[in-house]
Amino acid sequence: MLRRSLRLFSSLELTPTFPPRLQLALSSQAQEFVLESHKTVGDLIQEIKLGDNAIKSVKLLFSDKEAPQSLTLGEITKKPFNISIDNKSYHVYPGIGQFIRGKEEFLGLCKEAGISFNDARIISKYLERLTNSLPNQFTYSDLQAAAASAIEEDKAARESDIEILKSQIASMEIELEPLEKKLKEIEEISHHYAKLVIYGGLTTLIAQWGIIGYGTFILYGWDVMEPVSYVVGASWMFLGYMFFMKNKEGFKITSFTDMLFKRKFNKLVSSGHLDLKRIEILKKSISLVNQQIDLLKP
pTM over 0.75: no
Residues 6+ apart with CB under 8 A from 103: 124, 125, 127, 128
Looking at residues 190-210, what average pLDDT do you find? 91
3-class DSSP state of 134: coil
- State residue 103's pLDDT score: 54
Domains in the chain, please, with CATH?
A: 2-97 (3.10.20.90), 104-161 (no CATH), 183-276 (no CATH)
Q: Which pLDDT band, with edges at 50, 70 and 90, does 110 fall under?
A: low
Is residue 90 within 8 A of residue 103, CB to CB? The reply is: no
Asked if residue 84 has pLDDT above 50, the reply is yes
Helices (H), 39-139: 41-51, 73-76, 104-112, 117-133
Backbone angles phi, psi at 12, to 5 degrees: -135, 160
Tens digit of each residue's pLDDT (9 = 90 or more) over 131-150: 777 776 767 777 778 778 87
Mean per-residue pLDDT over the chain, rounded: 80
Long-range contacts of 41-45 (CB under 8 A, 24+ apart): 41/67, 41/68, 41/69, 41/70, 41/71, 41/72, 41/73, 41/76, 42/69, 42/70, 43/73, 44/73, 45/69
Which among 84, 281, 264 is positioned nearest to 175, based on CA atoms? Answer: 281
Residues 6+ apart with CB under 8 A from 20: 14, 35, 77, 94, 95, 97, 98
CA–CA distances in Å: residue 189 to residues 139, 184, 198, 270: 73, 9, 14, 14
Looking at residues 168-186, what average pLDDT do you find? 92
What's the rounded Cα separation, in Å, for the pair 161 and 153?
12
What's the rounded Cα separation, in Å, for the pair 240 and 212?
21
Q: Where do the DSSP E strands lie in the chain?
A: 9-13, 21-25, 30-34, 58-62, 65-66, 81-85, 88-93
